[in-house]
Amino acid sequence: MTTFQLHDKTILTDKEIARRMINKLYPNITFNYRFRPIRITGPISLPELKLIIRLRPSIELRSKRTLTAYKRYGNIKQIQEELSKNHLKKTIIRLENNYPYNLQQPLKHYIAWCKGYTWKEIEEHKELPFINNAKLYWINTSNQRSITTIPHYHLIY
């Protein structure tokens, strides 16, 4: 173990230095002792969201207020109605997320809902619609999906 002494005689270990660095890089994420994200503490930036998507921890990304509204009012009826308006067998529509993740401004959270596709098909699809202008897009893993009946992917603009 390496230690470093600061100008005020404080001695820091490698782990303490790493913790200070990670807290500066990702200020709105709380990490456990193994440097795994365990919760968000405020609106997250794009680099913070990218880290969470890459590590895939089981943490809530919505604010408490949005999560409460999602649990109370969230349903897929509106999405199913929008998809049924299009009479094509296969279609993908993009809608702004009614219950978005807690993101810093000006980031916006959209969902691309897929009709006639399986989860496997959209995961393997190389050229998904709407991704050209997106800052980030991804498909949640099966254990992280709150809506499992309609294949979809997330888009951040």
pLDDT (0 to 100) of residue 20: 87
What is the distance between the alpha carbons of residues 7 and 82, in angstroms, rounded to a whole number? 62
Which single residue is written with the structure tokens 């049924």? 84
pLDDT (0 to 100) of residue 7: 59
pLDDT (0 to 100) of residue 12: 73
What is the DSSP code (8-state) at residue 9? S
pLDDT (0 to 100) of residue 108: 98
Model-level pTM?
0.85
Chain centroid to Cα 53, Å, comes to 6
Chain centroid to Cα 19, Å, comes to 23
Cβ atoms within 10 A of the Cβ of 112, count? 21
Q: Which residues of the chain carry a pLDDT beneath 70?
A: 1-10
